[in-house]
């Protein structure tokens, strides 16, 4: 079964409840977000930024805590979670901007 929101890490693919449904559902992912699609009010992702929560599953299905960005490449991001565990995500760093905390770099 495929997630109706296109999330390849959503547990609904295994028959569990979708991350984006129910009373505590997350906001659905933004379609078409990628290189060159930042708005003029957004700043690029930076080392030190805090990413909030699940981050659309880009750091794995079991990573629900906030994460601090430690390194950024052209097509990858390394973060460290609140347990001091490093996590890697492959892909355009701009797709993670929507998960940045409201305070930006902390």
Q: Would you list the domain boundaries of the chain?
A: 1-31, 36-105
- Residue 4 pLDDT greater than 80, yes or no: no
User: Count of alpha carbons within 13 Å of 58, Cβ hemisphere only?
Assistant: 25
Q: If you search the block for the tokens 């078409």, which residue do you land on?
A: 32
Higher pLDDT: 75 or 18? It is 75
Its pTM stands at 0.59
Burial of 29-55, coded b for 16+ CB within 10 Å and e otherwise, reads beeeeeeeeeeeeeeebeeebbbeebb
How does pLDDT run across 28-84, given as a tens digit for each residue? 665 544 444 444 456 888 999 999 999 999 999 888 899 999 999 999 999 999 899
pLDDT reported for residue 104: 46
Residue 92 CB coordination number (10 Å): 18
């Amino acid at each position: 079964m495929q997630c109706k929101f296109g999330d390849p890490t959503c547990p609904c693919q295994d028959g569990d409840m979708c991350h984006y449904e129910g009373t505590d559902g997350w906001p659905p992912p933004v379609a078409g977000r990628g290189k060159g699609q930042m708005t003029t009010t957004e700043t690029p992702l930076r080392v030190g930024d805090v990413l909030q929560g699940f981050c659309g599953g880009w750091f794995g299905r079991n990573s629900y805590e906030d994460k601090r960005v430690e390194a950024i490449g052209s097509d990858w991001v390394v973060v460290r979670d609140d347990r001091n565990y490093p996590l890697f995500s492959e892909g355009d760093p701009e797709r993670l901007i929507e998960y940045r905390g409201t305070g930006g770099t902390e």
